[in-house]
Chain A
Amino acid sequence: MDLDVAILSRIQFAFTVSFHIIFPSITIGLATLIAIWEGMWLKTHNPYYLQLAKFWIKPFAITFGMGVVSGIVLSYEFGTNFSKFSEITGAVLGPLMAYEVLTAFFMEAGFLGVMLFGWQRVGRKLHFFATVTVMIGTWISAFWIIVANSWMQTPTGYKIIDGKFEVESWMAVIFNPSMPYRLTHMVVASLITATFVVAGISAYYLLKKKNIPFAKKGLSMCMWFALVLTPLQAWIGDMHGLNVREHQPTKLAAMEGIWPAEEENVPLLLFAMPNMETESNDYQVGIPNLGSLILTHSWDGTVQGLKAVPPEDRPNVPLVFWSFRVMVGIGVGMMGIAALALLLRRKGRLYENKAFLSLVTLFTPMGVIAVLAGWYVVEIGRQPWIVYNLVRTSEIVSPLPAERVLFTLTMFVIIYSLLIGVYLYFMRKLIKKGPPSMEALEQQLIGMKAPGYALAWVKSLTTKEQQLKEQQANDQPSQAQGDK
């Protein structure tokens, strides 16, 4: 068989890592939201926060489980498919990944059991501690993975001895030039992803007129989060762009579709079909000079283009170019939704505008798509290098028989397609089932507390609201009403 084992191994890795990243990009943010809700519940005793935490912990659990099983695959694929890569970079990347397992994996796994099953076994505060620990675990895990990835993008602090990397300064390895931007960009991306998942499902409930007070609370909180997070993300992304320009100019050129070796007055391309054969863009439509302004923060700033490097050192330009536009497009859309939400909230129509609610529902999976697109920009943009400007991807593949890799690749495609189908099926099932009712929460001895507190609290809230209503004599929507 004349199949290329290098291509097959790369497709397999790209496929398995793309599948994997879907899940942590949801769980990092969702763990944070659940911890916030549980903390708010402890502080305010408002049972709707408990309801939110107890409902979203289920999607969290199945998402986390998918992340675990698909992540184990990756930790072995470095060796199975890229043995030379693990041999030459092991001294740098190995300890980073070992730290991830030591400081994050075990912690998440250790406290997850208590977080999921321990509601009636430990006190409320200890349970909250477990939830927070799982959340911190997901962040630390992101930290080490981003450190390792950033080092491959902007390697520093190393020396090469006998063709293998050795570390001269671990500080330089960990705090490599692109790490801070990449890390904040990814963590905020995950928060936004989870925010829009929760907002989307809440909007769906409001459209279907189910679980109204629960959904209002979820949507309202998430729209506040989105209002803060999406502009923040645009700002971080812009700074990350400046960093890419400095350290990986070829990648930036691919992202923006810039061909000349050097270009002043770079336009911002709205549409273009980058053509790697003719080394130019087809059907280019752009706004003059805006590219320079965004990329260099000056009106006529110069940007290095793709032709500055020989063709064999360029990534696949159309893939990078379009992935980048998908990511930015979704980001802009999300910012628009957050602004729209603010506008509707002012008018008191946040929960009633059907078009808006449908739009938010549509955006449920958009965060995941943006994260995937963003990673394609990062990873494909780095090609043909695996360690930027130092090691080529083509040089590090295990010399396996191609048919074996083809076999495992086929298995991965079959198994992962099946799993994503099952995942979506069970997510749908959980969403259809909806949150636990107040009565159900009532039955549970959460944190060893005697039942009877939740309904009493809602009643007191309702009476307060009614008193308020009578005083003001207007029809302000009551948060507790829908539960009856």
Chain B
Amino acid sequence: MMDLAFFYFLVLGFAIFMYVLLDGFDLGIGILYPWFNQEGERDHLMRSISHVWDGNETWLVFGGVVLFAAFPTAYAGITSTFYLPIMLMLFALIFRGVAFEYRFKSDTSRPYWDFAFSAGSAIAAFCQGMLLGSIVQGVPVGVDSLSSLHWLTPFSILTGFSVMAGYALLAACYLFMKSRGRIQEHAAKLGKRLLLITILAMVIVSLWTVANQVDIRQRWFSGLNFLWLSPLPIITLVVALLAWKDLNSHATGTVHHESRPFWYAATLFLLGFAGLVVGLFPYLIPRQLTFMEAASPDSSLLFLLPGICIFVPLICAYTLWGYRVFAGKVEDYQEGY
């Protein structure tokens, strides 16, 4: 049943996007960590996300189990083929996850937890970018795919750094929204730089992909396709300009929209993601396995359907509530426990 499988393809896309957006900004906080080293700044950074990181990371587990439940063949293929980068990502996530708990309870060991948090965040983000790049490149077939280092290429390293830059941009915009004074000023400055780097990375990765991947090139440039798809890059540039304008308003002393840059950055991610899906659809593993081929039997897809339809909106609702409870600037609500 094609439609049911397509529904799960959308759910998977939603899960991945939510993960990238939410854990994106809190991994980004870790990536920005080295640039905030004055008294109290790191406490502020940690506190801005300590109540939400766990929920954010749950989207990664959700993405994994949706793939497992709805597309088991793709789950088995992707996770075993990318054994080392996935394991490396998990090790990194372990370190940054426990750093939240231990950092605030430590005295002498605090620098180690700071390092674990920052390095863990950066490595996890890099691994995710590398995974993305290697999936776009395509996966070799058979036993070879398990033993080779096909996921370690110049292209995947570039996408690794690009994702790091993008996450850092999200984090800078998040901080811009959640802080005042010196930290906000610093976030605005970093945000502007990261905006430039992210846009540059998006352009290079797009051109590189189009140059090397025949299928994706044809998808974008055959017939009138490019005309239909041209809004994607155009809107991307417009949104980037708007984000720049709001971040720059801080320097000119007229900050009106402290939360807008974050939403612009999120939109940039959404647009990039859409561009990717346009290029790869309907493959889960490019040119090997489509989502229709990988789909679970109907009995499984139907069983999970009510769960998705009821709980995903509910989850979004209480997640939003959780964010609202801690709305406003960090220093206005933190007490610890």
CA distance A80 to B88 in the complex (A): 12
Check B57 for interface membership: any CB of A closer than 8 A: yes
Selected interface stretch from B26-34, B69-77, B174-182, B218-226: B69-77
Binary per-residue interface labels of chain A (64-103) against chain B in the complex, 1 for a CB within 8 Å, 0 otherwise: 0110111111011011110110110111111101111111
- Whether the pair B105, A70 counts as a contact (CB closer than 8 A) is no
Check A42 for interface membership: any CB of B closer than 8 A: no
Question: Given A79-B80, A122-B325, A411-B87, A95 and B318 touching (CB < 8 A)?
Answer: no
Binary per-residue interface labels of chain B (304-330) against chain A in the complex, 1 for a CB within 8 Å, 0 otherwise: 100110011001001101100110000
Chain B residues near A105 (CB-CB < 8 A): 58, 61-62
Binary per-residue interface labels of chain A (268-309) against chain B in the complex, 1 for a CB within 8 Å, 0 otherwise: 000000000000000000000000000000000000000000
- Whether the pair A84, B143 counts as a contact (CB closer than 8 A) is no
Chain B residues near A72 (CB-CB < 8 A): 57, 60-61, 90, 93
Selected interface stretch from B208-216, B233-241, B250-258, B293-301: B293-301
Interface residue ranges, A against B (CB under 8 Å): 54, 57-58, 61-62, 65-66, 68-73, 75-76, 78-81, 83-84, 86-87, 89-95, 97-103, 105-107, 109-114, 116-122, 161, 166-168, 170, 398-401, 404, 408, 411, 415, 419, 422, 426, 429-430, 444
CA distance A89 to B61 in the complex (A): 18
Who on chain B is nearest to A57 by CB? B337
Binary per-residue interface labels of chain B (80-94) against chain A in the complex, 1 for a CB within 8 Å, 0 otherwise: 100110110011011
CA distance A387 to B231 in the complex (A): 51
Chain B residues near A415 (CB-CB < 8 A): 91, 94-95
Chain A residues near B75 (CB-CB < 8 A): 79, 86, 90, 94
Q: How many residues of B contact A (CB 8 A)?
A: 65
Chain B residues near A62 (CB-CB < 8 A): 101-102, 105
Contact residues, B10-68 vs A (CB, 8 A)? 50-52, 54-55, 57-58, 60-62, 64-66, 68
CA distance A400 to B311 in the complex (A): 37
Min CB gap A414→B, angstroms: 10
Question: Given A95-B304, A110-B322, A113-B54, A65 and B83 touching (CB < 8 A)?
Answer: no
Question: What 11 new A-B contacts, CB under 8 Å, besides A83-B80, A94-B75?
Answer: A73-B90, A75-B61, A80-B87, A103-B307, A107-B315, A110-B319, A110-B321, A110-B322, A113-B54, A415-B94, A430-B105
Chain B residues near A401 (CB-CB < 8 A): 146-147
Q: Which of A86, A100, A111, A170 contacts B322 (CB 8 A)?
A: A111
Q: Enumerate the 9 nearest inter-chain pairs by beta-carbon distance, A residue then B residue, closest first.
A: A90-B72, A79-B79, A94-B69, A113-B51, A83-B80, A109-B55, A69-B97, A83-B76, A102-B311
| Overall SS of chain B's interface | helix
Contact residues, B172-190 vs A (CB, 8 A)? none
Who on chain B is nearest to A122 by CB? B325
Question: Given A94-B296, A103-B307, A114 and B325 touching (CB < 8 A)?
Answer: yes
Chain A residues near B83 (CB-CB < 8 A): 80-81, 398, 400, 404, 408
- Whether the pair A73, B94 counts as a contact (CB closer than 8 A) is yes
Check B78 for interface membership: any CB of A closer than 8 A: yes
Who on chain B is nearest to A120 by CB? B335
Q: Which of B61, B307, B322 contacts A113 (CB 8 A)?
A: B322
Min CB gap B148→A, angstroms: 10
Chain A residues near B84 (CB-CB < 8 A): 404, 408
Chain A residues near B87 (CB-CB < 8 A): 80, 408, 411
Chain A residues near B263 (CB-CB < 8 A): none
Chain A residues near B98 (CB-CB < 8 A): 65-66, 69, 419, 422
| Overall SS of chain A's interface | helix
- Whether the pair A83, B79 counts as a contact (CB closer than 8 A) is yes
- Whether the pair A84, B307 counts as a contact (CB closer than 8 A) is no
- Whether the pair A69, B94 counts as a contact (CB closer than 8 A) is yes
Check B336 for interface membership: any CB of A closer than 8 A: yes
Check B303 for interface membership: any CB of A closer than 8 A: yes
CA distance A109 to B337 in the complex (A): 16
CA distance A89 to B335 in the complex (A): 46
Question: Given A90-B69, A98-B68, A76 and B90 touching (CB < 8 A)?
Answer: yes
Chain B residues near A93 (CB-CB < 8 A): 68
- Whether the pair A87, B335 counts as a contact (CB closer than 8 A) is no
Min CB gap B71→A, angstroms: 8
Check B6 for interface membership: any CB of A closer than 8 A: no
Check B153 for interface membership: any CB of A closer than 8 A: no
Question: Given A76-B90, A91-B72, A99-B307, A65 and B55 touching (CB < 8 A)?
Answer: no
Chain A residues near B55 (CB-CB < 8 A): 106, 109-110, 112-113
CA distance A105 to B54 in the complex (A): 9
- Whether the pair A70, B94 counts as a contact (CB closer than 8 A) is yes
Q: Which of A57, A121, A419 contacts B325 (CB 8 A)?
A: A121
Chain B residues near A107 (CB-CB < 8 A): 315, 318
CA distance A94 to B65 in the complex (A): 6
7 A-B pairs in the complex with CB atoms less than 8 angstroms apart: A80-B86, A106-B58, A110-B315, A112-B55, A113-B325, A118-B325, A408-B87
CA distance A431 to B187 in the complex (A): 39
Who on chain B is nearest to A174 by CB? B303
CA distance A103 to B97 in the complex (A): 22
Chain B residues near A66 (CB-CB < 8 A): 98, 101
Min CB gap B76→A, angstroms: 4
Check B288 for interface membership: any CB of A closer than 8 A: no
Question: Given A106-B319, A113-B54, A78 and B94 touching (CB < 8 A)?
Answer: no
CA distance A419 to B101 in the complex (A): 12
Chain B residues near A78 (CB-CB < 8 A): 68, 79
Chain A residues near B50 (CB-CB < 8 A): 117
Who on chain A is nearest to B308 by CB? A102
Q: Which of A54, A61, A103, A119 contacts B311 (CB 8 A)?
A: A103
Q: Which of A58, A122, A170 contacts B303 (CB 8 A)?
A: A170
CA distance A168 to B308 in the complex (A): 21
Check B333 for interface membership: any CB of A closer than 8 A: yes
Chain A residues near B93 (CB-CB < 8 A): 69, 72
- Whether the pair A167, B105 counts as a contact (CB closer than 8 A) is no
CA distance A118 to B46 in the complex (A): 16
Min CB gap B243→A, angstroms: 28
Who on chain B is nearest to A121 by CB? B325
Question: Given A69-B97, A105-B61, A109-B58, A87 and B76 touching (CB < 8 A)?
Answer: yes
- Whether the pair A102, B90 counts as a contact (CB closer than 8 A) is no
Check B206 for interface membership: any CB of A closer than 8 A: no
- Whether the pair A90, B296 counts as a contact (CB closer than 8 A) is yes
Min CB gap A259→B, angstroms: 39
Chain B residues near A98 (CB-CB < 8 A): 62, 65-66, 68-69, 304, 307
Chain B residues near A167 (CB-CB < 8 A): 297, 299-300, 303
